[in-house]
């Protein structure tokens, strides 16, 4: 391929990867012509020439080619996250759409079910594409980007098929279960429900790092609300945030272990980490100086072990310091996650009427009740 494209005028290094699961080549081209000194103009059309030449060579050797390449490619980080089974924004949307389609037979029902699952679905007959977004997101995404089976025509075909099945309608009403006084009278709130209600209504007024991160741990399903009452995330944002559960768990552990309840506690902790790291770095420098002038092999081995211990301790302190900085950086994001979780709980609470839900959505905590975490 390199000879067909560039001939013998340019130096080309071809590297083939066998360790990624998909065999592919990398071309490193010297842009300067060896004989004329002219420089290669690597315009975007070179990519298409390279792709066409690759397809031609594959066909000559009886190999398969991609006939209809996708116009919009998935980001590399999202691709590998989905490959590893991690909850990403896209596969969560696919899962929500698939579940909603099993209990919907019209666009209105599909929109209502998805809203209860934490998504806003819009399919205007005067618009070309159907769109979906989470309740707190500002930007919509066209459903065809999730796959060909999620474009507007494919969704409409699946809804038309559901209209012939009465079980779909039954599942819809069982899932939606709108508020009625009769339901509340026949199914009085349990003690577990009351604990959950008090917890969610208290979220906007949480103060202090310890209480705040405890609420985060409960919302993400890391810590129990009461004894063994573990909660699954309700909102799409919290389910996606479970990808970073290791990072949040490290922050929660640091807060509980060091009793960091205020921003001042965090700043004192960072100052203490800097002081300890400076002391260990100075001790390691002295050990290295002794190691350079030491001629005894046994003593030199002991000095090397001491130096390695200092390095390991420095690594541990650096990780704790980085966790503290991550905690400060993630604080606004986690506050937004708690707000999304509260909205999702309000949307799914069977004991709240539509009017009560609207009041809770519009309710804003007073200035003295707002979270003091900065």
Give the whole-angstrom CA distance, residue 340 versus residue 204: 11
Measure the CA–CA gap between 269 and 328, rounded to whole angstroms: 12
- Residue 131 near residue 121, CB atoms below 8 Å: yes
Cβ–Cβ contacts within 10 Å for residue 28, how many?
9
CB count, 10 Å around CB of 10?
Answer: 17
The three-state secondary structure class of 223 is coil
In this prediction, the residues of the chain whose per-residue pLDDT falls under 50 are 366-374
SS3 of residue 315 by DSSP: helix
Res 240: pLDDT: 85
What the block records as the tokens of 92 is 């969560």
pLDDT of residue 313: 94
pLDDT number for residue 228: 76
pLDDT for 72 equals 56
* The CA-based dihedral angle spanning residues 25, 28, 33, 39, taken in that order and rounded to the nearest 10 degrees: 110
What's this model's pTM, rounded to 2 decimal places? 0.69
Give the model's pLDDT for residue 227. Answer: 72
pLDDT at position 372 is 35
**pLDDT for 79-94, tens place per residue?**
777 777 778 888 889 9
Tell me how far the alpha carbon of residue 233 is from its chain's centroid: 13
């Amino acid at each position: 391929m390199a000879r067909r494209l560039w001939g013998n005028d340019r130096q080309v290094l071809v590297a083939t990867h066998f360790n990624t699961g998909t065999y592919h080549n990398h071309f490193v081209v010297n842009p300067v012509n060896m004989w004329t000194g002219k420089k290669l103009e690597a315009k975007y059309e070179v990519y298409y020439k390279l792709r066409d030449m690759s397809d031609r060579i594959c066909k000559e050797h009886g190999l398969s080619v991609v006939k209809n390449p996708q116009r919009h490619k998935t980001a590399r980080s999202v691709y590998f996250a989905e490959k590893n089974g991690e909850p990403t924004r896209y596969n969560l949307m696919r899962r929500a759409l698939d579940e909603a389609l099993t209990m919907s037979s019209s666009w209105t029902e599909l929109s209502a079910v998805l809203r209860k699952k934490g998504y806003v679905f819009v399919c205007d007959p005067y618009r070309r594409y159907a769109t979906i977004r989470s309740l707190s997101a500002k930007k919509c995404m066209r459903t065809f980007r999730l796959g060909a089976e999620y474009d507007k025509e494919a969704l409409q075909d699946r809804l038309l098929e559901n209209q012939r099945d009465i079980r779909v309608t039954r599942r819809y009403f069982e899932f939606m279960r709108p508020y009625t006084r009769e339901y509340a009278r026949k199914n009085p709130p349990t003690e577990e429900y009351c604990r959950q209600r008090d917890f969610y209504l208290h979220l906007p007024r949480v103060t202090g790092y310890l209480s705040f991160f405890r609420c985060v741990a409960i919302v993400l399903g890391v810590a129990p609300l009461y004894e063994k009452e573990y909660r699954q995330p309700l909102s799409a944002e919290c389910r996606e945030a479970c990808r970073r559960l290791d990072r949040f768990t490290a922050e929660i552990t640091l807060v509980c272990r060091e009793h960091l309840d205020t921003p001042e506690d965090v700043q004192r902790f960072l100052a203490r980490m800097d002081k300890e790291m400076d002391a260990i770095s100075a001790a390691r420098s002295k050990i290295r100086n002794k190691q350079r002038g030491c001629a005894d092999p046994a003593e030199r081995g002991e000095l090397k072990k001491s130096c390695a211990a200092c390095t390991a301790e420095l690594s541990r302190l650096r990780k704790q310091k980085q966790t503290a900085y991550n905690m400060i950086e993630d604080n606004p994001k986690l506050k937004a996650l708690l707000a999304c979780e509260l909205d999702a709980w309000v949307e799914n609470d069977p004991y709240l009427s539509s009017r009560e839900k609207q009041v809770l959505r519009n309710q804003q905590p007073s200035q003295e009740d707002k979270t003091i975490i900065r």
